[in-house]
């Protein structure tokens, strides 16, 4: 190969590198302009499309899609889904102020409480203006209002339920006691968690087959 051919080859390589570099720069600029949650939305859309296709296949074969879907769910997946549903239904915004915490607890305690409207109207007629508590009624109503046995029992049961709930409450632990131990030390545990985050979706079926004893 003479000098001219070598020079031409170098020019071709330079142009190819320049083209590839320009293509990469354009791609990086495109990705940088995308929304922050673009990848998660894309994965969600792909998942939903896959679910639609699987549903069509199962129904075309005469099967029940919901039942087939549940066969691929583990007990841990269902527990996580139930916990997420509860958090969504009654999310904990964290501490803001004592007033907000008190209001949140009040709403939680009175959520299932059914008001006796007949008794409410009777007391309203009986006490008149004193029915609405104020500075002038602070020393009057306590001696006039008599709580029913049902109301007292409801209060006792509510207090007992709160005490039982406090006994079961514990701080969040780093280790899940119900989870299988697959590590020999703390460093190995963290390494396994990193591997699991990357490859668990690929090895989930193998794990399920091993648990059911149907692995080939």
* pLDDT tens digit sequence for 76-128: 777 777 777 766 666 666 667 778 878 888 888 787 777 888 888 888 888 77
Q: State whether the Cα torsion 53-58-62-64 is positive or negative.
A: negative
Tens of pLDDT along 139-176? 555 666 777 788 888 889 888 988 888 777 655 555 66
Angle, CA of 29, 34 and 35, to the nearest 5°: 150
Spell 68-91 as b/e; 16+ CB within 10 A means b. Answer: eeeeeeeeeeeeeeeeeeeeeeee
Q: Contact at 8 Å (CB) between 90 and 100?
A: no
Nearest-angstrom CA–CA distance, 103 and 111 = 12
Q: pLDDT, tens digit, for every residue of 12-22?
A: 888 988 898 88
- For residues 60 and 68, the answer to whether their CB atoms sit within 8 Å is no
Q: Which two tokens stand for residue 16?
A: 């190819």
Distance of alpha carbon 75 from alpha carbon 86, whole angstroms: 17
């Amino acid at each position: 190969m003479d000098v001219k051919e070598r020079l031409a080859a170098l020019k071709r390589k330079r142009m190819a590198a320049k083209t590839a570099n320009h293509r990469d720069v354009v791609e990086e600029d495109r990705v940088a302009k995308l929304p922050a949650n673009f990848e998660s939305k894309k994965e969600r859309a792909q998942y939903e499309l896959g679910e639609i296709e699987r549903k069509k296949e199962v129904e075309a074969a005469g099967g029940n899609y919901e039942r087939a879907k549940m066969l691929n769910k583990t007990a841990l997946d269902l527990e996580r889904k139930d916990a997420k549903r509860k958090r969504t239904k009654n999310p904990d915004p964290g501490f803001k102020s004592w007033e907000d915490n008190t209001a949140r607890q009040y709403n939680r305690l009175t959520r299932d409480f059914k008001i006796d409207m007949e008794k409410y109207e009777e007391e309203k007629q009986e006490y008149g203006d004193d029915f609405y508590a104020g500075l002038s009624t602070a020393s009057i109503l306590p001696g006039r209002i008599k709580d029913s046995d049902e109301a007292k029992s409801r209060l006792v049961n509510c207090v007992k339920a709160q005490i039982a709930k406090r006994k079961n409450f514990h701080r969040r632990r780093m280790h899940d006691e119900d989870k299988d131990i697959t590590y020999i030390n703390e460093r190995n545990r963290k390494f396994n968690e990193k591997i699991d985050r990357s490859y668990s979706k690929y090895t989930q079926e193998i794990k399920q087959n091993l648990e059911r004893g149907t692995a080939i």
